[in-house]
Amino acid sequence: MFSQQQDNMEVTALCIKLLSLMMMLLCEHDQKVNAASLHIDPNRAQFFEYESLTFYCEGISYCEVVHESKGKISSCNKTNNITLTGSSCILRNVYTDESGEYWFDAGGGNKSNSVNITITDGSVILEIPALPVMVGEAVTLRCRNKTTSSETLAEFYKDGVFIGNSATVNSIIRSVSKSDEGLYKCSISGVGESAESRLTVGESHQSLPDITSPSTPWIIATVFLVILLVVVVLYHFGKDDWNKG
Ligand SMILES: *[C@@H]1O[C@H](CO)[C@@H](O)[C@H](O)[C@H]1NC(C)=O
Ligand SMILES: *[C@@H]1O[C@H](CO)[C@@H](O)[C@H](O)[C@H]1NC(C)=O
Ligand SMILES: *[C@@H]1O[C@H](CO)[C@@H](O)[C@H](O)[C@H]1NC(C)=O
Ligand SMILES: *[C@@H]1O[C@H](CO)[C@@H](O)[C@H](O)[C@H]1NC(C)=O
Ligand SMILES: *[C@@H]1O[C@H](CO)[C@@H](O)[C@H](O)[C@H]1NC(C)=O
């Protein structure tokens, strides 16, 4: 038979074990949420020469972006900035040979996601998100003339097939689905054609609430705490009854 003091110590040890397990689960989830990822602003896959863009390296304190053939971007060194969620750096006056794939080294040989951008010396770009869009989101494709922003007629193509023209230069996909993935380009009559860029469609986070919802660990934590409370309360009532009896 255990003495009451030993029993209390056992319960305390059990509580500490449960609490540390809970903290571990919460921390693991946070690491997943803050997984190293690369974003760009503006979020588009095509740029005219001499435009600027900002890279955001989420989950890492020094944004050191790598270009597929040029290696580490030197201007990232000069413009590095700490943000609330990571770090950022600016690429100014982009040039055609800076087109291509970008990523950053997330440590331990891991790479972040990569982002493809095309920089053109032509007169038309297609504004299309560089990052994957989620199923169900609305996406605006915009065909832009370098020198005028006046409304003109633009033609849009997906995988080389004409998909429609739009007098407002905007083509809106109201609710994106996996079948909207593909290579898009546009042209403005008498001006020119844009480069082609890929629209990537990711799975919606909302459709998997049990795995990816940020509230999930807090629900788990609450359930843990309630169970813990019930165990402690039952233990004390049980002990009192046992002592009385
Ligand atoms: C940044 O660039 C300077 C030279 O311009 C160099 O001395 C320094 O080592 C660089 N820092 C990093 C972190 O690359
Ligand atoms: C760094 O961030 C501050 C605040 O957001 C901003 O004002 C500044 O322009 C940024 N500097 C660079 C070099 O990105
Ligand atoms: C790469 O990332 C994975 C998952 O984020 C992690 O488990 C692994 O330890 C990392 N690899 C290295 C060598 O750090
Ligand atoms: C970037 O482009 C290359 C070559 O076109 C392709 O292999 C790669 O999958 C693309 N990456 C992304 C993230 O779209
Ligand atoms: C588009 O830009 C060109 C110059 O690049 C200009 O000559 C032309 O008028 C513009 N066209 C339209 C339809 O806005």
- Per residue in 205-244, pLDDT (tens digit) is 543 333 444 455 566 566 667 667 776 667 776 666 555 5
Peptide bond into 42 cis (omega under 30): yes
Distance 91 CA to ligand 2 centre (A): 13
CA distance 142 to 163: 14
Residue 205: DSSP 8-state: G
Residue 145 has pLDDT above 60, yes or no: yes
Identify whether the C-beta of residue 97 lies closer than 8 Å to the C-beta of residue 69: no
Of 34, 60, 110, best ligand 3 pocket probe by most atoms within 8 Å of the beta carbon: 110
Question: Residue 110: CB within 6 Å of ligand 3?
Answer: yes
Q: Structure pTM?
A: 0.71
Identify the nearest ligand to the CA of 82 by its number: 2
The fold adopted by the segment(s) 35-121 is Immunoglobulin-like (2.60.40)
Q: Which CATH superfamily is domain 122-202 in?
A: Immunoglobulins (2.60.40.10)
Identify the nearest ligand to the CA of 143 by its number: 5
pLDDT on residue 217: 57
Residue 151 has pLDDT above 90, yes or no: no
Of 114, 197, 199, best ligand 4 pocket probe by most atoms within 8 Å of the beta carbon: 114
